[in-house]
Structure 1
Amino acid sequence: MRRPRALLGVAAAAALAVAGTPSNAAAPSRADAAGEPMFGATRPAGARHLTPEQRQERRFLQDAAASLRFASDASKLALKKSKDPLVRELASAILREHESRAGDLRWLLHVREMAPPMLADAQVKALKVLNRAGARRFDRLYLEAVGLRSRSAAIADAERMATAAPDPAVRAWARSVLPALRDQFAMAERDATATRRFSRGSSPHAASRTRTVDISTAPGSR
């Protein structure tokens, strides 16, 4: 009877790992810090012919909007379910950033006649897993999926588009979100380290349960 439970734990962890990483994520590179106006030139909304760079820019905006919504929804769950002050601090920081940046992102989508995207199937499944998880298990999964994987992928995308996006307004938005994303990733690393240290001090049974849902070792997480 224990094997199905372990397999379910691995499957849930894999769903969270996939949800935390957009399909176009790439290795981080240091973005240019030069300032540009947030609402600079934009491409005509009805442009019929898009260059590969413009298509990449639009994909970045779609992924950023979905990632922002996923992290926001997961963080609202964290404030409801988690009792860990470090997890709650991270969730509050993510929600503050969502409130301050979402309007500009919606505008960048709007001028391209792009609707805010729906969550990917993997993100929807990940939210369901988080919603069903108990408080302690929730903390581990949230930190891995949202704090580490989602933030890492968002940093990589923003660093790349801060210099590569054709539209200066998109480059400016990408640069504007990087400081908060880096802060959130650093917070998640600190919190995950504290959580692992706590788990090592738990009973052998608790440590075994931790391994079955460890996102970093789940199939497809690398």
Structure 2
Amino acid sequence: MKIFQVAVAHSADCARPRTTRRREDAASGWHTNCEQGDGNGNGLAAAASWPMRAACESARASRHRSAFGDGDGVIDHVRKHSMSKTLRKAMRLSIAVLAMAGAAGVHAVTAQEQEFLRKADQAGELEMQASRLAATHTQNVEVRRFADAMLHDHQMAAEELERLARRKGVALPAGPTPETEHALARLESLQQADFDREYADTIGVKAHHEAVALFRQATKDSRDKDVQAFAVKTLPALERHLQMAERLTSDTRP
């Protein structure tokens, strides 16, 4: 009966946190816990026999149950904690990827692709401005027909190019280049047959040879799918213009 009373009393002591027991025991010179005795070879397990051990183990199990519940509760706690950490990592990674994608979306094109878009805009501007002059500077039906086709196709391409450049964050030239202004000024100074020959040779053939080469290179070198798609889509019209211009030069020769 005495041993049982000691066991009950010590079970309450075991129920306290171990650090607390060691701190309080150290103050009183008593270094006993459930595994160690009194530090002098007189272990409680030996002195109190199985009732003391049973009481101590019961108190220890009670502490674990109060913290986590039963054994399944401990496993659930660990599993939920691990899944929560994994989910947080996945969310942070997703946010980082989306942020990078969003930042990259504005400047997704290379310097070479930006240069292509600017040159394509300048070439189209020259061809459209020159074709508008044909309305007042020629009486040749074939020249007018060619100029009308140029205006129609290049206007559509210019609008698509402007949307593409805006989407990619590429600033297109605000006005014509000095070369374009010089070519337009020369054309405007000519009339009738002289205009027809210069328009067919300079705008129809020479300018389209350069444009076709520019767009063919872009179809091969562009890594941006949108830029490449624009080049692929526009190239056939430029090749058709070149063929028309080559026939037109024969019609405008004296």
User: Could you say whether these structures have the same fold, taking a TM-score greater than 0.5 normalized by the shorter chain as the test?
Assistant: yes
Alignment correspondent of 2:177? 120
Letter matched to residue 79 of structure 1? A
2:223 paired residue number:
166
Could you report, residue by residue, the CA deviation over 1:86-119 in whole angstroms, capped at 9, with x for unpaired residues?
1111111110112221221001211233333132
Q: Which has the higher contact order (CA 8 A, sep 6+)?
A: 1
Q: How do residues 133-172 of structure 1 correspond to structure 2 at under 5 angstroms? A: 133-172=190-229
Identity %: 30
Does residue 163 of structure 2 align to residue 107 of structure 1?
A: yes
The equivalent position to 1:176 in structure 2, one of 210, 218, 233, is 233
Q: Which protein is bigger by CA-based radius of gyration? A: 2
Q: 5 Å matches for 1:16-95? A: 44-46=105-107, 54-95=110-151
CA distance in 1, matches of 2:156, 2:191: 30
CA-atom RMSD, angstroms?
2.0
TM-score scaled to structure 2, two decimals? 0.56
Q: Provide the C-alpha distance between the structure 2 equivalents of 1:46 and 1:153, rounded to a whole number of angstroms.
A: 27
Residues 38-96 of structure 1: CA distance to partner in whole angstroms, max 9, x if unpaired? xxxxx52246xx7xxx1111101000001111100000001221111111111111101
Aligned with 2:106: secondary structure? coil
In 2, the alpha carbon distance for the partners of 1:152 and 1:89 equals 20
Q: Are the equivalent residues in 1 in contact too, given 2:130–2:203 (CA < 8 A)? A: yes
Deviation of 1:143 after TM superposition, in Å, equals 0.8
Q: How many residues align?
A: 152
Q: Any unmatched runs of 5+ in structure 2?
A: 1-103
SS at match of 2:244: helix
TM value normalised by structure 1: 0.64
Aligned to 1:188: 245
1:178-197 Cα offsets, whole Å, 9 max, x none, are: 1111111111100101222x
Which structure has the highest helix share of the two?
A: 2
Corresponding residue SS for 2:170: coil
> Structure 1 regions of 5+ residues with no counterpart?
1-42, 200-222
* Residues 129 and 68 of structure 1: CA distance in aligned 2, closer, same or farther (over 3 Å): same
